Amino acid sequence: MKHIKINRVALLLFFAVALGSCKKYLDRNPLSANSQADFYNDAAQVQQALTGVYNAIGARSISPGYSNPTSYYSKLDLFTEIGMERGLSGTIASGAYDATNGTVAELWGGFFQVIQRANNLLLYMTKAESVMDPAEYKRVIAEAKVLRAMAYWHLISLYGDVPFFTKPPSNQQELFEFTRTDKKVIIDFLLKDLESAANDLDWNPAQAGRVSKGVAKGIGARLAMLDKNYTYAAAITDDIIANGGYGLNPVFQNLFRKAGQTANVNKEIMFYYPYGDADAGSFNYLNLVQGSRNNGGQSSHFPTQFLVDLFECRDGKNIAESPLYNPAKPNANRDPRMAQTVIVPGDTVVVQGFTSIIFDFYSRYITRYNPTTQVVDFPTIVNQDSANIFGPRVNGLGNLWRKYCQDRDINGTAGNFYKVGWVYMRFAEILLINAEAHLEKGSPAITVATSVNRVRARAGMPNIAPDVLADANKLKQLVRREKTVELANEGLHLADMRRWDNGAYAAKVMPLQMYGESNSPVKFTAGVGLEFINPAPVPTFDPVYLVPIAWPNGDATRLKRELRVFRTPQHLLCPIPLGERDKVPALTQNADW
């Protein structure tokens, strides 16, 4: 897709039709400077306008004077306990931000741009109804409604109550008089909207990258979970599972490789943002921002040690319980998804077209490898501001993301790092929503286990153990853990983290001292792998949430970053951007901001 440059859109731009240029699955240029009176005259122009809505839902990072084609969805997990950004100052996860934060404003403007474009299309496309095929006309309406609902799901997850628009403002005065609408009212409207849209969509879209009946129902399930309407979420995901014809790709990592997305085995990918092979302007920077500086990357986005330690061992037990876990060899005997989601010290990855063992991907220290002793030493030279072509960087905690960053087979077979599409929704998420919804509504444990075990089986993990099935809290925490590790780095966890137990879960896992991998010297033996010579102790797991919350003697034994701040209810929602409230005084602010 040839994407467009879009300046940050505030709500005051709802009158504008700022649809940019595009070449992809619709093979049409969307609107640019055409007025409403001159457009929407035929099917081709209506499809161009729909392309503009699809462009906007891509949520690509746009700042004044600079266009980054990387989707903002890639940042959402960085606002949680499972991800972190390179810098410290002003990041959302650190808690050190306010209503002037640029990310907060950009997300607000980006998702309202989707709504603006969808509303313009829905209002003005009536001009073309008489010359369009009736089925196509209904399908365009349905697709626009699904994309609008998806944007509102993100806005509600981020900000709570938000302004609610189903059509463009009719006069200038309306631009300064709108207020926030109760999220319950918005969700109720959108669920009915999505039910109507689903009736006019097929289970399988004609073109990759477009929404379907299953996606419409899936967005409905997400909204229902936000609303704690578990009966609705369980029923609608039951329908998707029974009738959608979706399955799980047997090769997990192929979901995040270009060729695997194109093949889409078992139709697991329900909706994604494809990048065109023939279009040089159609790409993303995920490999750059998530990639190792050892390979010319920027190392801007990282997984946390919390996430790494959350992955179970192969026996289905956490690392504090499993006899398979060895702190000296923490990568051994783990859930296979760990190695397919994150890169940890000692992993094999593709570097510039060939395989290479990187002993210490991203440390706070400048390491020195002694080939005689086969030991990598950690001298006292701190590498906090080591320079490369991108300038000084503040480090992560020893791990990197693999998901979306290794579009090559491990033998070096060429792929395309920059053409991997962003997955908005896949069938594994539907199965896990189904499991959580059934659990919360009190369905039998075996019903919950059925969906979870399908996901675990694909990963090569055992079924849920009988003692877990018999314990309501253990089962709940396993479902949550499964959803977290399966969908990590897919931009979905923030909504879950904030809603679980009305914020009590977030209050437990967010205000933590950020520790990383062991700072011990490491040894690598061919055929055996990495071994920490003086390994850090096993983390302490919370007795209720069954997640790692403390790393004993971490100051002395581990890499270390910031102590995060998280206040409730303040940090359960982002602030309404100050710039929007300056323009529209009737917009109220969230609690404590």
CATH number of the domain within which 215 lies: 1.25.40.390
What tokens were used for 320?
């504090």
Tokens encoding 126: 């009536």
Note down the domain range covering 358.
Answer: 286-419+512-563
Classify 583 as helix, strand or coil: helix
Instruction: Tell me: pLDDT of 542 over 60.
Output: yes
| pLDDT number for residue 258 | 86
pLDDT for residue 343: 86
In a domain, 317, yes or no: yes
Both 339 and 402 in one domain: the answer is: yes
Say if residue 524's pLDDT is above 50.
yes
Q: What is the pLDDT of residues 98-110, one digit of tens each?
A: 999 999 999 999 9
DSSP 517: E
By CB atoms closer than 10 A (0-12, 13-18, 19+), residue 185 is exposed
Indicate the pTM of the whole model.
0.88
Look at residue 389 in the predicted model and tell me its pLDDT: 31
The single-letter code of the amino acid at 180 is R
* 1-12 per-position pLDDT tens digit: 333 333 333 333
Residue that has been written with the tokens 């993303």 in this structure: 284
Whether 234 and 337 share a structural domain: no
Q: Which has the higher per-residue pLDDT, 302 or 468?
A: 468
Instruction: Out of 245, 276, 299, pick the residue that ends a domain.
Output: 245
* 292/396 same-domain check: yes
Mean pLDDT, residues 121-149: 97
User: Which of the two residues, 40 and 371, has the higher pLDDT score?
Assistant: 40
Average pLDDT of every residue of the chain: 84
pLDDT tier for residue 384 given thresholds of 50, 70 and 90: very low
pLDDT at 355 over 70: no
- Pinpoint the alpha helices (H) of 254-341: 258-263, 286-290, 305-310, 336-341
226 and 312 assigned to the same domain: no
Alpha-carbon span 120 to 148, nearest angstrom: 11
Strands 375-377 and 522-525: antiparallel
> Where is the domain boundary, 213, 245, 277?
245
Segment 236-265 mean pLDDT: 95
Whether residues 385 and 320 share a domain: the answer is yes
- Return the pLDDT at 414: 46
Question: How does residue 224 score in pLDDT terms, banded at 50, 70 and 90?
Answer: very high
- Kindly state the average pLDDT of the residues 181-206: 97
- E-assigned strands of 175-232? none
1 domain residue, yes or no: no
How far apart CA 53 and CA 218 sit, in angstroms, is 19
Which carries the bigger pLDDT value, residue 117 or residue 389? 117
Q: Return d(Cα 429, Cα 432) in angstroms, integer.
A: 5
How much is the average pLDDT of 501-526? 90
Which helix (DSSP H) or strand (DSSP E) does residue 356 occupy? strand 354-357
The pLDDT of residue 374 is 60
Domain boundary among 216, 245, 274: 245
Express each pLDDT in 399-433 by its tens digit.
888 898 866 544 444 455 578 889 999 999 999 99
Q: Across residues 440-458, what is the average pLDDT?
A: 98
Residue 475 to residue 467: CA distance in whole angstroms: 9
User: Residue 18 domain-assigned?
Assistant: yes
pLDDT score recorded for residue 341: 96
What is residue 345's predicted lDDT score, i.e. its pLDDT?
Answer: 77
Nearest by Cα to 51 from 23, 84, 74, 71: 23
Q: Do 159 and 47 have their domain in common?
A: yes
Better-scored residue on pLDDT, 496 or 366: 496
Q: Determine the average pLDDT of the residues in 525-548.
A: 90
From the DSSP assignment, how many helices (H) and strands (E) are in the chain?
A: 19, 18
Question: Which pLDDT does position 24 carry in this prediction?
Answer: 33
Same domain (yes/no): 211, 357: no
C-alpha to C-alpha distance for 178 and 159, rounded to whole angstroms: 16
- Same-domain pairing of 30 and 179: yes
pLDDT score for 367? 47
How high is the pLDDT of residue 529? Answer: 74
The model's pLDDT over 62-115, given as tens digits with 9 standing for 90+, comes to 443 445 567 788 899 999 999 998 876 668 999 999 999 999 999 999 999 999
* 290 in the same domain as 232: no
* Domain assignment present for 320: yes
275 within some domain:
no
Residue 294 lies in a domain: yes
Which DSSP symbol is given to 313?
B
Q: Is the pLDDT of residue 382 over 50?
A: no
Token readout for 313 is 């061992």
pLDDT at position 394 is 41
Question: What average pLDDT does this structure show over 346-358?
Answer: 57
Whole-number pLDDT of residue 484: 99
In this predicted structure, the answer to whether residue 388 has a pLDDT above a threshold of 50 is no
Q: Of 453, 481, 417, 475, which is closest to residue 248 (Cα–Cα)?
A: 453
Residue 355 lies in a domain: yes
Min mean pLDDT across 193-207, 271-285, 386-400, 480-494 is at: 386-400
> Is residue 134 assigned to a domain?
yes
Q: How many domains does the chain have?
A: 2
User: Are both 118 and 233 inside the same structural domain?
Assistant: yes
pLDDT mean over 368-396: 46
Angstrom distance (rounded) from CA 310 to CA 515:
14
More confident residue, 322 or 377: 322
pLDDT tier at 381, thresholds 50, 70, 90: very low
Whether residues 75 and 196 fall in one domain = yes
DSSP state string for 404-442: TT--S-TT-----GGGPPEEEEEHHHHHHHHHHHHHHTT
Residues 187 and 64 in one domain: yes
Q: Which long-range contacts (CB under 8 A, 24 or more apart) does 583-592 make?
A: 583/10, 583/11, 583/12, 583/176, 584/11, 584/12, 584/175, 584/176, 584/177, 584/178, 586/176, 586/177, 586/178, 586/179, 587/163, 587/178, 587/179, 587/180, 588/179, 588/180, 589/99, 590/159, 590/160, 592/567
Q: For residues 535 and 328, is the Cβ–Cβ distance under 8 A?
A: yes
